[in-house]
Structure formats: structure tokens, C-alpha cells
């Protein structure tokens, strides 16, 4: 059995790197990845098979490609992608929150980073969420009041969805709604999961300030269902400047762009 070369990344690090590479290029080749990681082609092939089994990538002849518009990596896979960028985005988003605010926070790996940042800052706020990852990230931090929406548990996203979820949210008003998305184009944010889209829309309707948290690897990618027009957002928190066409569309829609690296 082939042994991993000294200094080569481990399996989890390779998986994260493959997913991150597909965030900027729709296809990757086994030979390129093997040379990059310093491992055998067979090792990379097994990595791609494992990611494919989780629905994170689509196997192709000699490599892997992004999945279809109706499929995105599961929560665990997304947690491994762009970790530093997502942490900075979460911290930058937390800096927008004033003590005493009421927040709606939807399910996602980046919104969970927001909850961690709020807990670390000790900001006294109320969180309404459908995400068990957000609940877990908030922990027992002093000053954080957490209300969890009811619904049907969806293990892939570690979240609750359904008619009861959206009905619960309509009972409340919030100061800020924080949502994530699978992708962002000039047409607006989109998501692979319709059940998640319905919750995002419900949250956007309940707050005057509506903030999208999104890492730059998702720019230019459109998924199954559009959440809303760009004009439905007031802010975008991201880790790098959007490409010119998207930046122009955001400006026309009146969306303020906050770069996490500036925080």
C-alpha cells in the first residue's frame, strides 16, 4: 500500500482543498491534484470517490467537477472549506451588531461562524434561528438569548425546516436578518435547497437590515432556486471584492459591501 509522502496534507485537508479548488474552477484533474498534494493519483481518486459519495463533487473522467445546480456539499464538507475566510466574515458580521439587537440567523457554515463571533464578543443580543449549528456555536455565552424555530430536522444541514419553521418566524420582528447562500450572481443570491430558501425569505421579510454572509468562492455561481433580488439585501459581508459586473450590480441595488479583511 502506498504511503503518504512526508509533509503531504492529510485526507481532511485534501478534501477541503479539492472543494476549495472547485469553488474557482468548475473542474479539477487528478494528475494536477496529485502533483499539488504530493500523493499518488490513486489517493486523489479515492478522495474524489469519498466526496462524490457525500454529494460534494461529481466524478468525471480523470478528475472531478462541481455538482449540479440542485446539489451542494453537506454542512460538514462546507465547514472544511475556506475556514479562515468564513471566520473573518463571521467576525466582520458580528461587528455590525449592537447590544440589545434582535437577530434572525439562518442555517449555514458561515452563519455559524457569526454565532461563534458573537459569543466571543459577549454581545448581548437575541438570536432567532433554525440552525442547531448556530445554537451550538452560541453555547452558554452570557448575554446571548437563543430562540429555536420548530420544524422537521434535516440532518444534512443540521437545521429545522418546514411550514412550522416559517410560521414561527413570522411571529417576530428583528433588527437584522443574517442569511447565507450557495451562490451569488447579478440576479441575486441562490441556494440548492428550496426548504432553506423559504426560511431565508421569511427572515428577510422580518428585518429592516438584511445581510448576506458569503465567501468570495461563491461569486458567479447560480444554484437551483433564487432567494431574492439583490435589492432585497442591504449589506453583503465577504472576504474579497466582488468581480466588476457583480460589484456594479450590487452598487445599483444599494447593497453595502463589507470586506472582512478590513475588520
DSSP tag of 81: S
Residues of the chain with CATH 3.40.50.1360: 77-262
**What span, in angstroms and rounded, lies between the C-alpha atoms of 23 and 9?**
19
Kindly state the average pLDDT of the residues 240-256: 96
pLDDT confidence band for 66 (50 / 70 / 90): low
**Any idea which architecture 77-262 has in CATH?**
3-Layer(aba) Sandwich (3.40)
Asked if 195 and 224 count as a contact pair (C-beta separation under 8 A), the reply is no
Distances (CA, A) of 134 to 50, 65, 128: 27, 30, 10
The CATH number of 11-67 is 1.10.10.10
Contact between 131 and 110 under an 8 Å Cβ cutoff? The reply is no
Residues of the chain with CATH 1.10.10.10: 11-67
Q: Does the structure show a pLDDT above 50 at 250?
A: yes
Average pLDDT, integer, range 107-135: 94
Per-residue confidence (pLDDT) for residue 1, from 0 to 100: 41
pLDDT tens, position by position, 104-115: 999 998 999 999
pLDDT at 67 over 70: no
Supply the pLDDT for residue 7.
Answer: 62
Distance in angstroms (rounded) separating the CA atoms of residues 138 and 251: 33
- On average, the pLDDT of the chain sits at 87
Amino acid at each position: 500500500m502506498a504511503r503518504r509522502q512526508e509533509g503531504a496534507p492529510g485526507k481532511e485537508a485534501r478534501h477541503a482543498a479539492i472543494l476549495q479548488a472547485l469553488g474557482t474552477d468548475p473542474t479539477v484533474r487528478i494528475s494536477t491534484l496529485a502533483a499539488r498534494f504530493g500523493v499518488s493519483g490513486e489517493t486523489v481518486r479515492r478522495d474524489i470517490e469519498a466526496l462524490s459519495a457525500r454529494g460534494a463533487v461529481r466524478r468525471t473522467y480523470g478528475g472531478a467537477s462541481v455538482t449540479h445546480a440542485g446539489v451542494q456539499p453537506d454542512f460538514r464538507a462546507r465547514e472544511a472549506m475556506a475556514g479562515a475566510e468564513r471566520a473573518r466574515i463571521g467576525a466582520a458580521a458580528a461587528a455590525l451588531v449592537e447590544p440589545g439587537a434582535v437577530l434572525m440567523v439562518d442555517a449555514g457554515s458561515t452563519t455559524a461562524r457569526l454565532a461563534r463571533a458573537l459569543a466571543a464578543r459577549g454581545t448581548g443580543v437575541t438570536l432567532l434561528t433554525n440552525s442547531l449549528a448556530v445554537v451550538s456555536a452560541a453555547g452558554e455565552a452570557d448575554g446571548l438569548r437563543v430562540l429555536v424555530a420548530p420544524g422537521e430536522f434535516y440532518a444534512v444541514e443540521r437545521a429545522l425546516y418546514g411550514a412550522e419553521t416559517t410560521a414561527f418566524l413570522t411571529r417576530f420582528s428583528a433588527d437584522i436578518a443574517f442569511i447565507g447562500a450557495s451562490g451569488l450572481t447579478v440576479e441575486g443570491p441562490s441556494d440548492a435547497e428550496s426548504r432553506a430558501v423559504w426560511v431565508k425569505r421569511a427572515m428577510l421579510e422580518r428585518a429592516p437590515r438584511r445581510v448576506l454572509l458569503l465567501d468570495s468562492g461563491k461569486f458567479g455561481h447560480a444554484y437551483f432556486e433564487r432567494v431574492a433580488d439583490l435589492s432585497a439585501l442591504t449589506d453583503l459581508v465577504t472576504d474579497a471584492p466582488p468581480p466588476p459586473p457583480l460589484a456594479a450590480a450590487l452598487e445599483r441595488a444599494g447593497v453595502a459591501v463589507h470586506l472582512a479583511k478590513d475588520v
